Structure 1
Amino acid sequence: MNDTAIKNFCTWARNTLIEQVETRMRRFSVVEANALPEDATSVDGMPLSPDEQRQRSELLRLQREVGHAALAERAAYTWFNRLVAIRFMELRDYLPCRVRMLSADDGSFAPQVLKCALDVQIEGLDASRVMELMQTGDDEALFRCLFLAQCDELSSCIPGVFDRVGSAMELLLPDGLLRQDSVIDRLVTSIPEEDWERVEILGWMYQYYNAEVKDAFFKSKAKETPDTIGPATQLFTPEWIVRYMVENSLGRLWMLNFPESALCQKWDYYIAPDAEHEDFIRIDGPEDITLCDPACGSGHILVYAFQLLFDMYVERGYREREIPQLILEKNLSGMEIDPRAAQIANLALAMCAREHDRRFFGRGVQADVLVVAPTKFQRDEAGCVIELPEDAAIMADQQFIDALEHLDEVGSLLNPTEAQLEALRADAARFAAEVESDSLFGRGLGVKLQDALRVCEALARKFDCVVANPPYMGSSSFSPFMSKWIKKNYPDVKSDLFSSFIVRIMDYASEHGEAGIMCPFVWMFIGSYEKLREKMINEKTITSLVQLEYSGFAGATVPICTFTFHNGYVDGYKGGYVRLSDFVGAAVQAPKTREAIANPDCGYFYRRNAKTFTQIPGTPIAYWASDALLNAFEGGKKLSDIGKPRQGLATGENARFVREWWEVGLDREKFDCKSIKESLEWIACRMLV
């Protein structure tokens, strides 16, 4: 895959689309200081159709809600996302009309749909309008009509990505889509068709689209906000690490239940258990397995889990076309605070399903990717809730209300208690009933409570397997609310988001479930994570771990490890560890990991019972430590028992008392002394002068 071409296109496309969207906003007087009333029937002498009036009114409402710049950003990404989705589908012949929308058969930028506009079968397309536009020879208007009709048809197939025609965003679809050097032109011509063969390109494009936003955030050293925390913490997981985590969690669960299965022979990163044990979740077949990624981003982990589950269903004799629906309905769940990333995850899983079931788009099946969105309650100037009545059940838990209002920051770290869920259920039921009778509090409150309940019940679920590349963000970048909330809810791991997620994943996983995580490896050694290590060692079981070389992760200078654990303690279990510290560069990390797994005698593969790490003060995950070294810590005498180390002779202020050789005059230097005695005699003479 040509990463450079993709990154260059995505960065350019974002800036170009934002500029073009803002041009459309000015054209329809959706501006920051709007002089025209919301119900205006014309703009600068240009009459507005009833649909345009409605769309403009909705855009003005959104502008007041999120701000002008955020609205432009949202619209730009909406069209970027849809163009990328259609491009992927047309190259795989997945579009329902079976006609290329953006390119010609030969790959050039000449939309095939324009040549067969009268014959193309797109549900809801106005044939008379197509005929009218063809007669006028206005290809731009014709393409716009066909493109929007295609988006409308896809809205029933992938509603998380496409809206019904007539939505407000339709008004902000840029002009000049067929021009040379347009976004569509570059999308078609700058990225080779072979790069679109794998669905992972969708996730890469999302990350590159946000690259400038992410860089600007960390350069500014600003505190995170709901608008920045998603893009700032997005980090695409390398394919080999995804495979390693999924194979040693989902794959491990499968092999423990079906040791006769041959599937593990296809898993290059699977580390077989050191011995049989009885502590695992029993399943009768693939339909029994649940897997969640609680910070799913663009869905890379879910996509590979889909592939493994598909193979499991096939091995058990299921028919191929039935499997995608079963996987999406029974097996996979994702959670994400960034709705744009969630769109990509939905799209990627839909593409996986369509690959195996050509009628999938007509089945009405949606992936279970939850956008963890906040529920905002109105407040007075003192910050008190005024929309909820004082006798509402959740009013007794102000901290819970605060968390609901900040779910676009807290996200899937929220772990609702049963008492909180019961209170929310009671309020949702009460106000849902009052909505029907047009109560004082109105429909808005009932809908808000139902949405909050839906999200919280999803956050309270347990899963057989949990796999994640959680967000990395240090506490120095937390907003005031986030800093206070993390300290209260994750006091032992409050210094970073990733460590908080490790603890939360322990709760998402069912008892004796399997988990896989990619994160910075600082948790393995640094004193501030000692309590996390103790919890992991004493209450869980590390089944495997790969420690990458310091520069072994492409895309960020982060010391990375990836590991899997069993959500329960298995006495005496020896996990498999791979140490890549001696192999420099991202390109060699995957092959060296495969080599170690295939040849445990390679010298950098280790088997170790994690309980032995407790022999070393601070409990570091020192899996490479020899038995002799561990025994020395346990049975040897500590230096502190003998004496207290001190610094020794020191000037206390080197800059004042120590001189470099070039700072001394030549008359006070001698370079030809034959011995220390001669040099001392010379110094004594100089002192007498």
Structure 2
Amino acid sequence: MAFDQNTRGRLQKLVNACRALLSDDFSIQLQQVYGLDPKTGEVTPMARLTHLDDRQRHTAQVLRQVLGHYLGADADDTEHRIAVIDRMVREQAFTVLNRMAALLMMEARGQLFESVSKAYQSRGFQSYARLAGAALGETGQAYQAYLFSLFDELAHELQGLFDRFAANGLLFPRETALRALLDELNHPDIIPLWAEDETIGWIYQYFNSKEERKAMREASQAPRNSRELAVRNQFFTPRYVVEFLVDNTLGRLWYQATKGTTALKERCQYLLCTPRDIFLRRFEADDLRPGSVAALVQAGKWSELPAFDTSEAGVQAMIEFAHCVNTYDRHPNDTWGDYFQRLEAALRAQRYEALSTQELWDGVFLICRADRHGGDGSVYQERWFVEACQTIVDRLKADDAQQKPNIIAFHVVRDPRTLKLLDPACGSMHFGLYAFDLFAEIYREAWAWEQQHGPGSLDVSTQPQLLLKPLCQTYADEESFLRDVPRLIIEHNIYGVDIDPRAAQIASLALWLRAQRAWHDAGVKAKDRPLIGHGHVVAAIAPPAERELRQQFAASLDPRDAELFEKTLHLLKGLPEMGVLLQVERELPSLIRQVYVGKGTGLFAQEERADWLAAEARLRKALTDFAQAAKSTYQGRLFAQDALQGLRLIDLCREVFDVVVMNPPFGALAANTKDQLVKAYPRSKSDLLAIMVERGLELLRVGGRIGAITSRTCFFLSSFQMWREEIVLGMARPDIMADLGNGVMDDAMVEAAAYVLEKRV
């Protein structure tokens, strides 16, 4: 179902109505039941809340600890306290809406019995109510208990959304509000949308209104805090842009590795590949025999290369380069034989003038392959050789420039478990959802590749620490392998970061639902589906600020670990506004040296990574123990959770990615991090989008690809000149660009461009 303007308008109306319902109900609950006034920020002492039963009293105490955690060191600031209580209302409303939407989407995918779509008449609830009898009270109370049992079950895999004891999910609508919410969610116009993967993303998009974004921009040109930065840049990426960028990053890398023998050529409608693609083979020792063209090029002796023409020397140069090329795949098996014979005859008679440039190359390639390599398809790897080939191509006096071959470097076929894709501003994970489809196909083809070429034929050298066995030694058969693929994709391949915790909540849910749909489509029953472990979606949230808790936790550590913990929290100070732009991986070595060197450990630079891993493991265990200790308060658990989330972000920034895709924030830098960003990214300081592109390239491995949709102005305004020269053309090589113009990203008033860069250095 297409999310056209009418469909999006109807969904926006739903989200607005649900937000108003839930926000009003929770504001009343906080004020009248739990003694937290959203208007004045007043907090009623617990002793005065004599109307509460035991359960409500516990909730009131927990809500106060959440408030204290969010306030940090600013507990006495009334204006700040009002803003924090407003945040609590907003978070509770968003979580409940997402939970109910998630249940409806699970129903549509066969993952869940009918539970929400018919409200109190749902078959799942009716069965539950018959078993429970009158033990759970009135119908409304029983239905709430039924939903809570579903939440508790789903929290095993989706803790961030369904944990009823999480800070953002403590409240639940009263029966009148719940009935109104169910009516809205089950409106006939909305029901078809629950089967669509994009629905949850549009809910996230519309939870903040256009009016709210407009008011923020009118109040300040630059975002004033992390929430404004997130809300002002919350623009859903159209599906065709997502496909264009993912096809030509992830899809392109797999296309190159398989030398074009992938079904992605047909599946990816925006993948740019042509019949003129030439795939170079792996280097062989004989190719560097003294005096060969390859040896001269590798030595940089370009002046000694024979002039490229149709003389004997020129043809010989072509032949030596052609030894490193496979061209058979460029011609259908039923036609290339006759074509080859005609070209061979012309070449043997030296009738070069009778051949077009394309025919000349094809003829030489085919002769060389038949003569020497037997069509084994192996190709060169070294980048200097790719550039040498392209130099020869550029010297050709082609009859038609469009006929010049496109030389493609050698790429090994990787074990798909080692491929990593990052969206550093993931929002609702729109890029990741489409990438999931491509990864599924890549896994299927990887199994077939290994079956054809044998165990060990899939390269795992980029991730030696994983100790991966060949697929055929890990799984009993293809069926068990394919059943595990959705889990593998979430646990190994797709990474996301967002400065909005609600986005991380949605992104994790979206990927989980996509995995469930894959199993549903494959006929895998719910009981046979593998459990999905912790994925790689990280919320860039502020490190815990409670001084007393920090001191209490530090007292439980070795003094050096305590010092490292404090320095790490200080390093993460700007995290809510900066996310992955905070170059934590660059600072870690100096932190390790500051804490440990000269204090009896005898560390050396090469040991810093290992010692950080060891120290981090100790901190993780200590934080987990701190949160689970019997004497730990709810606020203490929140403190530990936020600190652990910071460690997850550090781990993510230390990864090396193959693909980065994004619709990054753009415009002015947030006021409270501007100086820090200008210092860290002097070549890209003109705009947040330029900084995001530079950071994306930093996180890529050489040969990796970044795809982005941004404002097009960065490609011609003079203020971006250094960025264009030193980043786009210095660190990378522009590969593809689409100038899209206005009206691409919903209501964003910006002329957009989508482009792909390949990292060179």
Aligned to 2:655: 461
- What is the CA distance between 1:53 and its match in structure 2? 2.2
Partners of 1:346 and 1:495 in 2: CA distance: 32
On the 8 A contact 1:321/1:356 being kept in 2, the answer is no
Are 1:37 and 2:45 matched, yes or no? yes
Partners of 2:185 and 2:152 in 1: CA distance: 21
- What is the CA distance between 1:293 and its match in structure 2? 1.0
On the 8 A contact 2:33/2:52 being kept in 1, the answer is no
Are 1:286 and 2:416 matched, yes or no? yes
Aligned to 2:333: none
Superimposed CA distance per residue, residues 82-111 of structure 1 (whole angstroms, 9 cap, x where no aligned partner): 11111211222212xx2x22223xxx8844
Partners of 1:494 and 1:8 in 2: CA distance: 38
Letter in 2 for 1:458: L
- What is the CA distance between 1:454 and its match in structure 2? 3.2
Give matches, 1:212-251, under 5 Å. Answer: 212=210, 213-221=212-220, 223-251=223-251
Give matches, 1:306-385, under 5 Å. Answer: 306-315=436-445, 316-317=447-448, 318-319=478-479, 320-357=482-519, 358-359=525-526, 363-376=531-544
Superimposed CA distance per residue, residues 178-237 of structure 1 (whole angstroms, 9 cap, x where no aligned partner): 776x12211111543222222111101110112243333223226321232222222111
Match of 2:192 among 179, 191, 194: 194
The 1:154/1:555 distance shift into structure 2, 3 A limit, reads same
- What is the CA distance between 1:269 and its match in structure 2? 0.9
- What is the CA distance between 1:250 and its match in structure 2? 0.4
Aligned to 1:102: 116
Are 1:132 and 2:135 matched, yes or no? yes
Letter in 2 for 1:241: V
Aligned to 2:584: 416
Moved more, 144-153 or 237-246: 144-153
Partners of 1:352 and 1:326 in 2: CA distance: 13
Partners of 1:401 and 1:170 in 2: CA distance: 26
Aligned to 2:328: none
Letter in 2 for 1:473: G
- What is the CA distance between 1:524 and its match in structure 2? 0.7
Superimposed CA distance per residue, residues 652-678 of structure 1 (whole angstroms, 9 cap, x where no aligned partner): xxxxxxxxxxxxxxxxxxxxxxxxxxx
The 1:544/1:43 distance shift into structure 2, 3 A limit, reads same
Task: Give the SS at the match of 1:327.
Answer: helix
- What is the CA distance between 1:390 and its match in structure 2? 14
Aligned to 2:384: none
The 1:187/1:282 distance shift into structure 2, 3 A limit, reads same
Task: Give the SS at the match of 1:230.
Answer: helix
Count of aligned residue pairs for this structure pair: 536
Are 1:269 and 2:270 matched, yes or no? yes
Percent of aligned positions that are identical? 24
Partners of 2:584 and 2:267 in 1: CA distance: 39
The 1:190/1:21 distance shift into structure 2, 3 A limit, reads farther
Task: Give the SS at the match of 1:373.
Answer: coil
Task: Give the SS at the match of 1:518.
Answer: strand
- What is the CA distance between 1:406 and its match in structure 2? 1.7
Aligned to 1:586: none
The 1:210/1:191 distance shift into structure 2, 3 A limit, reads farther
Letter in 2 for 1:511: V
Q: CA RMSD in A?
A: 3.4
Aligned to 1:528: 719
Task: Give the SS at the match of 1:86.
Answer: helix
Task: Give the SS at the match of 2:508.
Answer: helix
Letter in 2 for 1:462: V
Partners of 2:645 and 2:108 in 1: CA distance: 37
Superimposed CA distance per residue, residues 324-356 of structure 1 (whole angstroms, 9 cap, x where no aligned partner): 011112211111121111111111111111122
On the 8 A contact 1:349/1:367 being kept in 2, the answer is no
Partners of 1:447 and 1:167 in 2: CA distance: 10
On the 8 A contact 1:372/1:408 being kept in 2, the answer is yes
Aligned to 2:348: none
Q: TM-score, normalised by structure 2?
A: 0.64
Give matches, 1:384-533, under 5 Å. Answer: 402-418=570-586, 420-421=588-589, 423=591, 425=612, 428=616, 451-475=645-669, 478-479=670-671, 481-533=672-724
Task: Give the SS at the match of 2:161.
Answer: coil
- What is the CA distance between 1:18 and its match in structure 2? 0.8
The 1:117/1:450 distance shift into structure 2, 3 A limit, reads closer
Partners of 2:620 and 2:414 in 1: CA distance: 39
Task: Give the SS at the match of 2:425.
Answer: coil
The 1:343/1:398 distance shift into structure 2, 3 A limit, reads closer
Partners of 2:109 and 2:622 in 1: CA distance: 50
Match of 1:23 among 20, 28, 45: 28
Partners of 2:100 and 2:565 in 1: CA distance: 45
Superimposed CA distance per residue, residues 622-665 of structure 1 (whole angstroms, 9 cap, x where no aligned partner): xxxxxxxxxxxxxxxxxxxxxxxxxxxxxxxxxxxxxxxxxxxx
Partners of 2:10 and 2:660 in 1: CA distance: 34
Task: Give the SS at the match of 2:738.
Answer: strand
Identify, as 1 or 2, the structure richer in helix. 2
Give matches, 1:661-680, under 5 Å. Answer: none
Match of 2:755 among 563, 574, 577: 563
On the 8 A contact 1:281/1:513 being kept in 2, the answer is no
The 1:323/1:428 distance shift into structure 2, 3 A limit, reads closer
Partners of 1:502 and 1:449 in 2: CA distance: 28
Partners of 1:185 and 1:436 in 2: CA distance: 41
The 1:142/1:177 distance shift into structure 2, 3 A limit, reads farther
Aligned to 1:545: 737
Partners of 2:124 and 2:229 in 1: CA distance: 40
Partners of 1:433 and 1:399 in 2: CA distance: 18
The 1:564/1:280 distance shift into structure 2, 3 A limit, reads farther
- Ranked by relative contact order (alpha carbons within 8 Å, sequence separation 6 or more), the top structure is 2
Partners of 1:348 and 1:434 in 2: CA distance: 31
On the 8 A contact 2:236/2:746 being kept in 1, the answer is no
On the 8 A contact 2:115/2:122 being kept in 1, the answer is yes
The 1:118/1:422 distance shift into structure 2, 3 A limit, reads farther
The 1:436/1:117 distance shift into structure 2, 3 A limit, reads closer
Partners of 2:173 and 2:271 in 1: CA distance: 48
Partners of 1:18 and 1:159 in 2: CA distance: 23
Letter in 1 for 2:201: G
On the 8 A contact 2:561/2:619 being kept in 1, the answer is no
Aligned to 1:58: 62
Task: Give the SS at the match of 2:128.
Answer: coil
Partners of 1:344 and 1:449 in 2: CA distance: 21
Are 1:70 and 2:100 matched, yes or no? no
On the 8 A contact 2:185/2:191 being kept in 1, the answer is no
- What is the CA distance between 1:393 and its match in structure 2? 8.6
Partners of 2:169 and 2:432 in 1: CA distance: 31
- What is the CA distance between 1:7 and its match in structure 2? 0.7
Partners of 2:128 and 2:410 in 1: CA distance: 58
- What is the CA distance between 1:301 and its match in structure 2? 0.3
Task: Give the SS at the match of 2:227.
Answer: coil
Partners of 2:134 and 2:229 in 1: CA distance: 47
On the 8 A contact 2:92/2:170 being kept in 1, the answer is no
Letter in 2 for 1:140: G
